[in-house]
Structure 1
Amino acid sequence: MSNESAVLPARSPLLPDRHPQRDLFVCDILDAVPKADMASMENPVFSLSTKPDMRTRRYERGENWIQIAPSRQGLATVHDRDILIYCISQCIGALNEGRKVSRHVRFKAHDLLVATNRQTSGRGYELLRDALRRLKGTEIETSIRQGGKEHLSAFGLISAFEIVRETRDGRMLDVEITLADWVFDAIENNNVLTLNRQYFFLRKPLERRLYEIARKHCGAQPVWKIGLELLRDKCGSSSRVKEFRRLLGKIIDDDGQHDHMPDYTFTMAEDIVIVRPKKSTRQNGVPLQLSSLCLAPDTHEGARRLAPGWDIHYLEEEWRAWVLKKVISVKNPDKHFLAFCKRRGAHKR
């Protein structure tokens, strides 16, 4: 081995930015804040496999259970989820602007590929078509409540899709998706959470799933702990515990070297996994901690009354970022946040 090859930089665990220069006419679409529904962040709906996954899986937690069955194309994957994130984001963005939304969502295929950092070559369109088929074919049966409803019948992740128009070389242009009731209920009831845009740059399916779980369960808490075996089950991993420990350890080591995991750090203490928000940058010499900005459970209800039509979770993140940027001393986070929402609501009216 030559001296030159010995000092080659380590390969980044992130995907490259495939679209550093974006078309101006789609900027407003691409800037929609990424959103995901909470139920599939909580439960292992999507397969981690990069090969066709033909297993039927069932998960039970207390009174809740969920069963996921594949079609002949296999289970929908974590990367297929990009399509649902894009559709949910567009719908929430429209609701925040006071526009009506429908479970029938139409978009330009190119816009979705760019917004989710997917390749726009012919292969990119083929992969999008395959993802639509898996989303349509994957069948869910669950007792999980969402939006005040309990779903006990089987349904797909999308109810239908149609490629509306194709160019002469076979690339799809317009796509129309009919979202499943389960997904649309989450949109109508705002049962969604904002994702970091770097999510679309995470290369490994397990990295994406770990981020979703941390975002859902840790949020802005100073720390969240979970057993290794339970985390494996929540990820939907088919690996044995020993192998899952190795895979997680590799991600932790990569993050220590590249700081590529968005928002959260993961550590292991024997068979306990510890998740913490990444520390905010010190400003004016003062260490800022998100943990000091925790809100009471009923504060969101008050915020919705003060800022009707707004995505409250987005407002909460905007408020936190503003407080941290301005180094504001917040003595009463709930009162401070409600005042922030009141100003936003008055501005919108």
Structure 2
Amino acid sequence: MTKIIPSQGDLFRLDSPLYGDIQGERTVAEFPFFALTKRAQMEPIAFANDTARIEINPSKTGVATIYDKEILLYIASLMVSRLENGETIDRTLTFTANDLFRMTGTNPSARSYTSLKASLTRLQGTQIITNIETGGEGSDSAFSWLLKADIKYTKLPNGERQMKHVEVMLCDWLHRAILTDRRIAAYHDDFFKLGPIERRLYELAKFNCVDGARFEADAVDLAGRVGCSLEPRSIENFKRTLREVTKDQSLPEYSLALADRKEPRTGGGRPKLSTLVTITPLDSLRLAAASAK
């Protein structure tokens, strides 16, 4: 296999560099669309509540991961930036790998370029089936995050392939969510330093702590929304992570608190112990502390 090396620049019209913030889209942030792992996950993902149904099926390289999602966040940010500048937004965008790495804090090494190619493959291969509508439209058939994912390169005399740029085409579903629904929010720069579960907690907080309000959820329900398995061992691991996040207060912009509570069981017997998770914007806590003085 020939080696791919970084681009030295070309004259092709690029949508990068990105000068603004990384932007997240609410519909994608609210639900567990991505595997919480760096390893290939071959098991499908399923989630359902009173209003939403999601089924995620892997390609031969696995389900798209929370780390692959960095590319979608970057693409959405490019689209929002162009939208704010009054430019026409097409589903096909071109960008340099180096600009993506700059925004996500990734070291532009040979390994990063190999990982980028694998991420694009998973985003294009993962199949999503959902009843969630975007832009007032839905689909009964499966779709992929990317309809096209192409790394353009130049062949050098020594046989190496020099990357020029990346060209992607976004699926209709996500394109409508970004451009029609426009439920977008800027992410903190430290988002990309977070682990998988912390990223999901941050995203849920970002879109549910509106106007300084707190976000509360039962730990088991929250585990499902984050994307964890609801098997007992996975729930215990999730609660362990919650305790670590609470101890370190590692979520940018938010504070997390846990409270155990006893709930009576139907028919009597020993009360059931549950855990309430509360996420509060740090600005709200500072304002409350200042008012108390």
TM range (shorter): 0.7 to 0.9
1:1-349 equivalences in 2 (<5 Å):
29-166=17-154, 168=156, 169-189=160-180, 190-202=182-194, 204-238=195-229, 240-255=234-249, 260-270=250-260, 271-279=275-283, 287=290
Which one scores higher on RCO, CA 8 angstroms, separation ≥ 6? 2
Q: Distance in 1 between matches of 2:255 and 2:122?
A: 32
Give per-residue Cα distances to partners, 1:241-290, cap 9 Å, x unaligned.
Answer: 222111211122222xxxx421111111111100100136969xx9389x
The equivalent of 2:272 in structure 1 is none
Cα displacement (A) at 1:166: 4.4
Give per-residue Cα distances to partners, 1:188-235, cap 9 Å, x unaligned.
Answer: 111322211221222x11111110111111233331110100110011
- 2:253 maps to a residue whose letter is D
Contact persistence 2:17–2:95 (CA under 8 A): no
The equivalent of 1:6 in structure 2 is none
Q: Provide closer, same or farther for how the CA distance between residues 280 and 53 of structure 1 changes in structure 2, counting only shifts above 3 A.
A: same
Contact persistence 1:167–1:173 (CA under 8 A): no
What is the TM-score normalised by the length of structure 2?
0.82
Contact persistence 1:280–1:287 (CA under 8 A): no
Instruction: Give 3-state SS (helix, strand or coil) of 2:212's partner.
Output: coil
Q: Distance in 2 between matches of 1:154 and 1:250?
A: 37
Instruction: Give 3-state SS (helix, strand or coil) of 1:214's partner.
Output: helix
Q: Provide closer, same or farther for how the CA distance between residues 218 and 166 of structure 1 changes in structure 2, counting only shifts above 3 A.
A: farther
Q: Provide closer, same or farther for how the CA distance between residues 269 and 132 of structure 1 changes in structure 2, counting only shifts above 3 A.
A: same
Contact persistence 1:220–1:277 (CA under 8 A): no
Q: Distance in 2 between matches of 1:288 and 1:152?
A: 52
Instruction: Give 3-state SS (helix, strand or coil) of 1:83's partner.
Output: helix
Instruction: Give 3-state SS (helix, strand or coil) of 1:155's partner.
Output: coil
Instruction: Give 3-state SS (helix, strand or coil) of 1:220's partner.
Output: helix
Contact persistence 1:166–1:174 (CA under 8 A): no
Cα displacement (A) at 1:139: 0.6
Contact persistence 2:126–2:145 (CA under 8 A): yes
Q: Provide closer, same or farther for how the CA distance between residues 263 and 175 of structure 1 changes in structure 2, counting only shifts above 3 A.
A: same
Q: Distance in 2 between matches of 1:210 and 1:99?
A: 33
Q: Provide closer, same or farther for how the CA distance between residues 124 and 100 of structure 1 changes in structure 2, counting only shifts above 3 A.
A: same
Cα displacement (A) at 1:167: 6.2
Q: Distance in 2 between matches of 1:282 and 1:275?
A: 14
Give per-residue Cα distances to partners, 1:60-118, cap 9 Å, x unaligned.
Answer: 11132011111111111111111111111011111111110100010111111111111
Cα displacement (A) at 1:51: 1.3
Instruction: Give 3-state SS (helix, strand or coil) of 1:114's partner.
Output: helix
Contact persistence 1:264–1:277 (CA under 8 A): yes
Instruction: Give 3-state SS (helix, strand or coil) of 2:283's partner.
Output: coil
Cα displacement (A) at 1:130: 0.6
Q: Provide closer, same or farther for how the CA distance between residues 234 and 179 of structure 1 changes in structure 2, counting only shifts above 3 A.
A: same
Cα displacement (A) at 1:152: 1.9
Q: Distance in 2 between matches of 1:282 and 1:82?
A: 31
The runs of 5 or more residues in structure 1 that have no matched partner are 1-25, 290-349
Q: Distance in 1 between matches of 2:44 and 2:20?
A: 34
- 1:242 maps to a residue whose letter is E
Q: How many pairs align?
A: 256
Identity %: 30
Contact persistence 1:225–1:275 (CA under 8 A): yes
Q: Distance in 2 between matches of 1:63 and 1:280?
A: 30
Q: Distance in 2 between matches of 1:110 and 1:166?
A: 16
Q: Distance in 1 between matches of 2:211 and 2:85?
A: 26
Q: Distance in 2 between matches of 1:114 and 1:64?
A: 35
- 1:199 maps to a residue whose letter is F
